Amino acid sequence: MEARSIPILIHQEQQVYLIRLTNATGMQVELSNYGGLIKSLVVPDKNGQPTDVVLGFDNLSDYFSETYLAAYPYMGTIVGRCANRIGHAQFDLDGKTFKVSANTPPHQLHGGLEGFDKKVWTIKSLTKTPEPELVLTYLSPDGDEGFPGNLELELKFMLTADNELKTEFSARTDQPTPVDLTHHGYFNLNGDGSSILEHELSIDADHYLGQYPDMLTNGALLPVKQTDKDFISSRKVKPASDFNGYDQAFVLNQPDISHRSAILYSAKTGIRMELYTNQPAIQCYTAQHLGPLKGKRNQTYRAFSGLCLETQVHPNAVNTPHFPSVILRPGEHYLHATTYKFST
């Protein structure tokens, strides 16, 4: 087992590192303290060949390029304080209206102009035993992107002997504030930039959330039955009907870290990814707006080159009273746990 960090570059006068975790079976994940980024995730395919199953770049410096920042698909990062959209970039909390940065006018998306995905986190610990583990911390100050309260955050990544990548995101605050983090990774179990539309997907969700044309949730809880959003039984990502892609929140039937909530499978490589989470929803995004973008190993990423399964609370919950609350208060502990288990 291996756990080591490599200094790469300076950003915002802080050192950016590449951190490598490797387990006894050869599974390897490369992370960075810049944005809590998962740069690569290598698992064996059905023939035992190492296969990188996430989109990204060969070099960390590429994540700071003008070309990438202009497109900026949040590739592999941790986003927050609030994942997804906050309607009209504002919310009411305890009788006061808070206006947050509108980076996708009129709404806020994934935490604002400079969310947690663009922060340099502190490496709290990096350990080899009993299993390789990285812990990052960050203090988001009161007023950050318009959000109230000083928010103390911790990200934990652990690689197990069973080829699981376990993630735990936790937070505490000194003022009431919305908190809803997620990992915005683009998975491609083919191990390249080819289409994920032939991947097989199942999501344990009987309902999905209605939304307006601009993708903001409208508060409706809709049944997946007899729609192209029915993934209760495993099927190909692309439905038989005309298809423009998914950017859709699914409400999980049993949000529990011990319950399997989704499965993604590639027949090409035989790689199967099982997802477990304690979060009540998954945002499924088929990357229809991605690219063209030059990625790893001279690949070109295009629409449908990756699939995001973003575990989170219902989008725009802060403005939708009948959705689960995302408000964290002093004395409370926010804990988001998601596990990705790989096999062939």
Q: Spell out the residues 6+ positions from residue 49 whose beta carbon is closer than 8 angstroms to its own.
A: none
What is the distance between the terminal CA atoms of the chain, rounded to a whole angstrom?
Answer: 21
Rounded distance, CA 249 to CA 84, Å?
A: 10
Nearest to 190 by CA among 269, 247, 121: 269
* Residues designated as active site: 184, 310
> Cβ-count burial of 88 within 10 angstroms (0-12 exposed, 13-18 middle, 19+ buried)?
middle
Rounded distance, CA 200 to CA 197, Å?
A: 8
Q: Which amino acid is at 55?
A: L
Assess whether the previous peptide bond of 130 is cis (omega < 30° from 0): yes
The tokens for 19 are 């951190």
Contact 133, 127 (CB under 8 A): yes
Pairing of strands 334-343, 281-285: unpaired
Q: What are phi and psi of 187, to 5 degrees?
A: -90, 140
